[in-house]
Chains A and B, each alone.
Chain A
């Protein structure tokens, strides 16, 4: 008797060839914005961690999150 196949778990996006160190998803659970201490959104394509509250995007360079406001990009589409 064969069981019906389990639905496949959603797979994380494939890392790109230029992105040898994808961000560990567990990191997102513990990281917050250093300024607002609010949540961060992970933009995998841009390799950025975005703080809407602070209006800043923190870069991830070669798998290393740069969690310093001085190094962050200011979001332009802020109200």
Chain B
């Protein structure tokens, strides 16, 4: 198992994970929004609203939204006046976001294909770095966190929205049933791709619990690291500062 990484419940080589995650998001890109609504009962919109409210983007700030291809977070931040660079490793997800930006007449966003582990930005360029439902799909998460720290200005902030772990006994059982039984079935029916959604729920299970992920953020150099659990831990907002 040396050097293997988790692709859902399977252990694979890092290159294979990157390729297979790429394939998953190519396949789900066109129905990503619809599936998010179905899977979360529309809650993902509220989580994203709350997330952006915590980031507090301001006019004149330059923010990197990593893994932000479909534009969900970037549109919200641009509406508050921030200059947003949207980066994603997956061209299909970026294409969805660019189309939506055109349809909604949102201009001024920069779109780039970037690997979170090896960003192509100079040091200390951004006021904030955001990543929403993206970090768990990154093959080398510590590398991505170090890169986030590198490209942030001193005083810059890191914000991550990601699925986490439900600890409440009653809710945990319901969530277990829903995520392992219902979501793959929804994926099969709506997106005609059970495997992709099986990966999504398994990858959520494999992602570290919030306190452990917070420790990874600290190890990347961030200070004042905090997290907030939403809906009993279904999702968590992690934050840290570069000082």
Contact of B122 among A24, A32, A71 (CB under 8 A): A32
Cβ of A64 within 8 Å of any chain B Cβ, yes or no, is: yes
Asked whether A24 and B110 contact (CB < 8 A) given A32-B121, A34-B119, the answer is yes
Complex Cα distance, B118 from A64, in Å, reads 17
Query: A75 on the interface (CB 8 Å rule)?
Result: no
- Residues on the A chain within 8 Å of B98, using CB: 64
Select from chain A the residue with minimum beta-carbon distance to B64. Answer: A30
Contact partners of A69 in chain B: CB under 8 A: 118
Q: Residue on B with the closest CB to A70?
A: B115
Q: How large is the interface on A (under 10, 10 to 19, 20 to 34, 35 or more residues)?
A: 20 to 34
Which of B91, B118, B122 has a CB less than 8 Å from the CB of A31? B122
Q: Is the interface of B mostly helix, strand, loop or mixed?
A: mixed
* B202 contacts across to A, CB distance below 8 A: none
A69–B119 CA distance with the chains assembled, in angstroms:
11
Q: Is A67 part of the contact surface with B, judged by Cβ < 8 Å?
A: yes
Contact residues in A for B89 (Cβ distance below 8 Å): 68
Task: Report the nearest B residue to A40, measured CB to CB.
Answer: B120
18 examples of A-B residue contacts, CB within 8 angstroms = A29-B122, A30-B121, A30-B125, A31-B120, A32-B120, A34-B114, A34-B115, A58-B120, A63-B111, A64-B91, A64-B98, A64-B112, A65-B112, A66-B113, A67-B113, A67-B115, A67-B119, A71-B113
